[in-house]
Structure 1
Amino acid sequence: MNSKKVTAPLFRDPIYDGAADPTVIWNHVEKEWWMVYMNRRATSRRMDVSWVHGTDLGIATSKEGNQWLYCGIIEDLDIEKGRNTFWAPEIIYHEGIYHMYVSYIKGVPDSWSGHKRHILHYTSDNLWNWIYQSTLSLSSGYVIDAAVHKLPNGKWRMWYKDEQNHSHTYAADSDDLYHWESVGPVIIGFPHEGANVFFWQEQYWLIIDEWSGQGVYQSKDCVNWQRNSKILDKDGIRKDDQGVGLHADVLVVNDKAYIFYFTHPDRAKGYGKDSYLSKRSSIQVAELEIENGILTCHRDKNLILHLS
């Protein structure tokens, strides 16, 4: 078994220094781990939010999970001309095909509101080359942050943020990963984003980004959810691990669960919101544990990754 002590930060994008919203998956063709992430342009000097738009999906690769190499971006995803925006990829592997569900905004807006958001579906056999399948019809025209997992009944479920409906988590179901039907709200009562669902220790877990840490829910059937805990809500002491953990992805390997998340480590240091130091971000990883039925994450622990 390969095992290496993890350094912090795990990864920083060497082009724009704005790596965020990571998803981690094994590439069966290249025989290595791939991290696909939203490549926000932290080095932009514009004093608005255009730096979080016009974003590509970055690629970092690793043989063992400890050291990651930037390998460029996923190309040829555009469904219309011009420079457009891709956010928050979700990638799953099923029966020899990779399915990616990615948030999409036309153009490069300089404000948050007023711009429709959609989730696009692509397929690939190697993670490099993608074929556009469809723009999903969901509960509104303002949806982002897809997460996909199979239900116990064999159907697939997608959880996503519906910004038109109070920024709550909504869901849609599919028999084949291509055709989706909305089934309504799942987590309500307060705005949030970035749902991620995984099966571990004989139950399902759902985490959401509350912008003050990751809210944790648990379920036996992947449909009815009960609040369990909150994690990554306090500063870490590792390099670049300051601030709350944002938009995370959980990878379960060899009965261990690792959470990949991003931080804005300099935001608490008093820099202006339009400064490069306030914008830059780092990817981190930590191990999840269950203590007396409560899901926890001690982000300051030295970590040995076992990704083989």
Structure 2
Amino acid sequence: MRYLIILFSLFLSGCADVASLNENQQIGALAPKPLYRDPVFDGAADPSIIFNAAEKKWLMFYTNRRANVPGLTNVSWVHGTPIGIAESVDGANWSYRSTVNFPKDIPGTSNVETATYWAPAVLEHEGIYHMYLTIVPGVFEDWNHPRTIVHLTSADLKNWAYQSTLPLTSDRVIDASVLQLPDGRWRLWYNDELAGKKTFYADSKDLYHWEDKGSANLPNDRGEAPLAFYWKGHYWLINDLLGNIGLGVYRSSDALNWQRQSSNLLDIPGTGVDDQNGGHHPEVIVSGERAFLYYFVHPGVNAESVYEKEPALDVKRSSIQVVELQYVDGWLVAQRNNPTYVSLLPGSTRQ
């Protein structure tokens, strides 16, 4: 009888969660929890999502951490990482596709046995796909090694050509995010590790030639993976606050001057499968009036876990999740315990 009571209570709780969604939020495909786990290394992280018009499918490019490979010491498992690809017809149900076969002429990869690829940022413009990718020249036991951001292009999201290494503030830069401004310029935000994990930015007229502009001047700025998008009449920037305290949120009218939201997103652990930790490295797809926040979680990490020191599989593995953003009193809310019904219009982006 006690077991039946518990089941009935869980059922009522689930009904209450659904009832708290408005009608619009119940349109689409119900996303599972977790949304996606990589079947090869079990270390999916840093998602970047784009619509493949030729195939009429969504593709997720992600850092494929080697979470289940035995014998990797310290943080070597977070190096030597390929970029994985998952595919979906609805943005809610994903299956593994392959890894990216990068060209051999990328600086920092040609003279090493195994290169490290992190944090792809993929976009489409005038029929050409662009990727801004973090490169680390090898596999290392610590974090004290160069990182650069390179520009690659493709006509089909399969074959990539190296274009350039971006001239940014230092040789320790990671996590690009690119957005087009109303005047046609492109702006790229990134993290400079040598500047105390702060956010910097660069501008371009054509996606190929970039001029670094220095600090983005975010209030209380320390984090990584800055992700910019436009929604509900505002520019937004969300970043990974490191540790397990969730995502910071910034709002702007001009993509230059930012206000910090008083509360973080995804800082309180969720109740769904593999969602019991802070959210990391965001991606946002704006679809009509709706916006969907994709993120990854280390479900096995707790306050006592340090995955550099205790490289157990359950501590290292990571899962991708999704939640719908809500716009409440001028700021962002993400109710990760509610069911998420994903509805992505073909060609949706972060614009």
TM-score (norm 2): 0.85
- Answer whether contact 1:24 1:249 (CA < 8 A) is retained: yes
Amino acid at match of 1:159: W
Number of residue pairs the alignment of both structures matches = 307
Shift of 1:47: 2.6
Aligned positions of 1:55-74 closer than 5 A: 55-74=81-100
Instruction: Decide which structure has greater strand share.
Output: 1
Q: Bigger shift: 221-230 or 206-215?
A: 221-230
Question: 1: CA distance between counterparts of 2:305 and 2:175?
Answer: 28
Aligned positions of 1:126-165 closer than 5 A: 126-165=156-195
1:51 to 50, 67, 77: 77
Amino acid at match of 1:105: V
The secondary structure found in structure 2 opposite 1:199 is strand
Aligned positions of 1:10-21 closer than 5 A: 10-21=35-46
Cross-structure match for 2:51: 26
Q: Bigger shift: 207-216 or 263-272?
A: 263-272
Structure of higher CA gyration radius? 2
2:299 to 217, 240, 265: 265
Aligned positions of 1:89-238 closer than 5 A: 89-113=120-144, 115-186=145-216, 187=218, 189-211=220-242, 212-228=245-261, 229-238=263-272
Shift of 1:268: 2.2
Shift of 1:283: 0.1
Q: 1:175 to 1:141 in 2, by over 3 A?
A: same
Unmatched 5+ stretches in structure 1:
none
Cross-structure match for 2:311: 274
1:50-76 C-alpha deviation (Å, 9 max, x unpaired): 000001100000001121110110003
The secondary structure found in structure 1 opposite 2:283 is strand
1:240 to 256, 262, 274: 274
Structure 1 segments of 4+ aligned residues over 4 angstroms from their partners: 269-272
1:168-197 C-alpha deviation (Å, 9 max, x unpaired): 000000000001010010126443100001
Question: 2: CA distance between counterparts of 1:65 and 1:180?
Answer: 32
Amino-acid identity (%): 46
The secondary structure found in structure 1 opposite 2:143 is coil
Instruction: Decide which structure has greater helix share.
Output: 2
Cross-structure match for 2:102: 76
Shift of 1:153: 2.6
Amino acid at match of 2:268: K
1:129-177 C-alpha deviation (Å, 9 max, x unpaired): 1111011111111100000001233211100001111110000000000
The secondary structure found in structure 2 opposite 1:267 is coil
Q: Confirm or deny that 1:36 pairs with 2:61.
A: yes
What CA RMSD, in Å, does the superposition of the two structures yield over aligned residues? 1.6
Amino acid at match of 1:249: E
Question: 2: CA distance between counterparts of 1:205 and 1:90?
Answer: 17
The secondary structure found in structure 1 opposite 2:36 is coil
- Answer whether contact 2:219 2:258 (CA < 8 A) is retained: no
The secondary structure found in structure 2 opposite 1:109 is coil
The secondary structure found in structure 2 opposite 1:111 is coil
Q: 1:77 to 1:237 in 2, by over 3 A?
A: farther
1:34-56 C-alpha deviation (Å, 9 max, x unpaired): 00000000012323100000011
